[in-house]
Structure 1
Amino acid sequence: MENGVNEDHVHIVFDELFRKHYSKLLFYATRFLSTDEAEDIVQETFLELWKRRDSLEMEGQIQAYLYRLVYNKAINVLKHKKIENDYSIEVEEIYKRKIAFYEPDYNDTIKRIENMELRQEIYGMIDQLPDKSKEVFKLSYLHGLKNKEIADVLSISQRTVEAHMYKALKMLRNNLSHLSFLILLNLIY
């Protein structure tokens, strides 16, 4: 009977960890990957945690452990994508910057994730942009690239970049009109 009670306690602790950390880890993983890929690696992370439940201390540094697992899994997915798609040097540099910026040991990253509700709304609206406009917007506002650099990376004209930026900003202004647009842009950085 004691083993059953202990196993019930482990289930309760695991359920609490899942509820507490799943959405934060998913938000974190989507900084690297698409939502589907992010969901897969966060689920894999919790599956790995479950498999190691007997050898892990479920208290203490579990949050750091979970972020590290997600980070490592995301890096592996990105490496695999790089091999599959043979990314150009410019795109590879963007991914390197992104990976370095969201490194879980980087203090500001965890602080940003902890205050995520407003960002989730903003990023949700960004994700609803048409694909090319979304890509141009993210390269500009999330990665700080200039229009010329974006045009070079995407192999499109600067004029096309400007058209996509105009379209993206117009849609975001309309969809997030309840927020001050300047606050929106400051939160994205």
Structure 2
Amino acid sequence: MDESGGNSKLNFKKFEQFFNENIHAAGLIAYRYVSDKQLVEDILQDAFITIWDKRSQIYNSDAELRKYLFVTVRNKTISYLRSIKVKQIEIDNALASMCLQEEAKLYTDEELALKVSKAIDKLPKRCQEIFKLAYLNDKSYNEIADTLTISKNTVKTQMVIAYRILRVELKEIYLNMLFILTNWKKRE
């Protein structure tokens, strides 16, 4: 390589020689910041590609090119670390947001459960008993009828009454409740 400082052209053969002479030192610079071998290789590859692409603008001498290489490796490594930090901040922010949303949803679910519970408590005693057997104990209409020694039609009638009362009591959340109730298994 030309150490004279003259503006000789950096051809592929000279670049290959420069690469072989400086790859180890450039790798040590990258390793000061990161310890992942594959990442260091990627950074070095990027740096040498950058130098090859800009060779006509930056090549005056081997010494200057070596300085440029080392600064490029350092800057690419730091840029990578900054991107990781930004990504980590983005991940942390996303996780914090998800936690807040989950807390809000949990609060909403607790509120909904409390409202439903209060509305169920307002049902007439027998209607409340049948409704709880159906939804809290997961019993079918036939099982409820057998348990309470009443007809299946009485169970159906009491459930219709329960739905009407709950619809009125829970009118602002009726659609949410309807969704919940329709997702429970059918009682027949």
- Shorter-chain TM range is 0.3 to 0.5
TM-score norm. by structure 1 comes to 0.37
TM-score norm. by structure 2 comes to 0.37
